[in-house]
Structure 1
Amino acid sequence: MESLIVILVGILVAVATYLILSRTVIRVILGTAVLSHAVHLLILSVGGLKKGAVPLLSQSDGPYTDALPQALILTAIVISFAVTAFVLVLAYRMYSTNGTDDFSKLGGSSDE
């Protein structure tokens, strides 16, 4: 199961790289969002997909599940959502100011 998730992470990184290298701002924003989801899955797969009991001392003696990867992923989801929302607001402001979202048209003219 972990190898399937690693393959999925590779596909998501490839899609994110393709989107980040495009010229429009919205594709770059979507690419960074997809890349953050790929990193979340990578952290989950590196942490191990184990089934076990809750790590409480008064419970069972069986194998325990580490809660640290889930806590890291939850924190990363909140941070990536906030950053994505902020960048979307910046992109909207840039589009309303300049009238375009194409990176090649946003740069200053060099023939002046």
Structure 2
Amino acid sequence: MILAFAATAAALFGVGAYMLLQRDLIRIVVGVALISQSSVVALIGASLTRGHAPIDVSTGESYSDPVPQALVLTALVIGLATLALLLALVHRVVVAYRTAHHDELAAEEIAIEQQLQRDQQRDSNEMT
């Protein structure tokens, strides 16, 4: 069972890393979300105990450690907040630049920077 969790975490991380290398901003956000979820699966897999109930009140024996469970909940909340922030940033970029592709954004930023340099040069020529 633990091998299944490890394989799932590795697959999620691999797919997430592949998505991070894409040129589309939405795919980059999906890659970040998948890597976040792979950490959750890895934490769940690491906290498994074989043959023990999560809480066994009748025998008073060992029970599962609550620290990994708290870490998973914290990772879920942080992952959701990060995902919301990234989606808001992508939405703002798409509204401002009318594209979500990295290459088109880079070309437009270069054009804007060249326009600013021309404006600065024109202003400095007018001053002299």
TM above 0.5, yes or no, is yes
User: Structure 2 CA distance, aligned partners of 1:53 and 1:62?
Assistant: 11
Three-state SS of the structure 2 residue aligned to 1:109 is helix
What displacement does 1:60 show?
A: 3.5
Matches for 1:54-73 after TM superposition, within 5 Å: 54=55, 60-73=59-72
One-letter amino acid of the counterpart of residue 9, structure 1: A
Q: TM (normalized to structure 1)?
A: 0.87
Please name the residue that 2:76 is paired with. Answer: 77
User: Structure 2 CA distance, aligned partners of 1:85 and 1:53?
Assistant: 32
- Percent of residue pairs identical: 27
User: Structure 2 CA distance, aligned partners of 1:106 and 1:49?
Assistant: 49
What displacement does 1:103 show?
A: 0.8
Runs of 5+ consecutive residues of structure 2 not aligned to the other structure: 115-128
Larger radius of gyration between Structure 1 and Structure 2: 2
Cα deviation 1:8-63 (Å, max 9, x = unaligned): 1111111101111000000000000011000001111122244335388xx64222
Matches for 1:14-33 after TM superposition, within 5 Å: 14-33=14-33
Counting matched residue pairs gives 109
Please name the residue that 1:89 is paired with. Answer: 88
Runs (4+) off by over 6 Å: none
Q: Where is the helix percentage greater, Structure 1 or Structure 2?
A: 2
Q: TM (normalized to structure 2)?
A: 0.77
Cα RMSD, aligned residues only: 1.8
